[in-house]
Structure 1
Amino acid sequence: MTPRLDAIGLVVADMAASLAFYRLLGLDIPAAADNQPHVEAALPGGLRILWDTEETVRSFDPDWQPPRSSGRTGLCFVCASPAEVDATYAALTGAGYQGHLKPWNAVWGQRYATLLDPDGCEVSLFAAAT
């Protein structure tokens, strides 16, 4: 058997804060999940996204420490249009989340923007430029 990518895992300091951010990006996550130590959501195409609290990870890896930077890994969300990139960025920054790069027309032909989730993970929004 050849291994296949099945899930993307995030380790979070505050489960409720992280889930609130990703709900604003359209992920279907039940409100009851906010107090859970481990949460999963199915993504289109069968991939899953997983959240674990720092305490959960330390329960099986007692020496685990948060990385100093998550700048090498990010999540990317496709939007239906350049206007949706702008609106989503505005909604998230308006809700108090940290913008990193305001929407711009990238040289590779996309409307692009970057935010940081509550744990500092880079989250990109993009759509084909029109």
Structure 2
Amino acid sequence: MIGLTVHDMAESIRFYRTLGLDIPDPDGGPYHDVTLEGGIRLSWNSVEMMREIEPDWKEPTGQRMTLAFLCESSAQVDTRHQALVDAGFTSHKAPWDAFWGQHYAQVLDPDGNIVDLFSPIEPQPL
């Protein structure tokens, strides 16, 4: 399971739905999760719940971890990136062809986490 600590669960879920994840509506509580394709679970945990569990919890700063989502093609990277920007979310880096052979883009989720979108760069016809 990958757990996200969030300030606004509804807005975070809206982001990840716009990204393309199928997420059922939360029940309004401080916790929500979904099982993704392949069996990995993704959970949303409210800041308030984290402080209840660990009263000395301090909100982290900086990027220690990045979620990355494989797309089917370079065009899908571009489309998903633009859909998130059109929905009001922030682009961190516009799509580009990375030197390691992937088409890449980065967006920020509502809590400032960098989310990568990538695909292999398709060979160009001769």
* Shorter-chain TM-score tier: over 0.9
Q: Which amino acid aligns with 1:94?
A: D
In structure 1, C-alpha distance between the alignment counterparts of 2:121 and 2:34, rounded to whole Å: 29
Match of residue 36 from structure 1: 29
Between the aligned partners of 1:121 and 1:59, the Cα distance in structure 2 is 22
1:14 maps to 8
Paired with 1:20 and 1:77, the residues of 2 have a C-alpha distance of 16
Report how far residue 24 of structure 1 moved. 1.0
Preserved contact between residue 16 and residue 34 of structure 1 (Cα < 8 Å): no
8 A Cα contact 1:19 1:34, kept in partner: no
Any idea what SS the aligned residue of 1:35 has?
Answer: coil
**Alpha-carbon separation, structure 2, partners of 1:113 and 1:22:** 15
Which consecutive residues of structure 2, in runs of 5 or more, have no partner in the other structure? none
TM-score, normalised to structure 1's length? Answer: 0.90
- Is 1:57 the equivalent of 2:43? no
Give the aligned length: 122
Q: In structure 2, which of residues 107, 110, 113 is the aligned counterpart of residue 115 of structure 1?
A: 107
Q: TM-score, normalised by structure 2?
A: 0.93
- Identity across the alignment (%): 48
Find runs of 4+ consecutive structure 1 residues off by over 4 angstroms. Answer: none
Q: Contact conserved, 2:24 with 2:34, CA < 8 A, in 1?
A: no
Structure 2 CA distance for aligned equivalents of residues 125 and 35 of structure 1: 29
Name which of 65, 71, 95 aligns with 2:87.
95
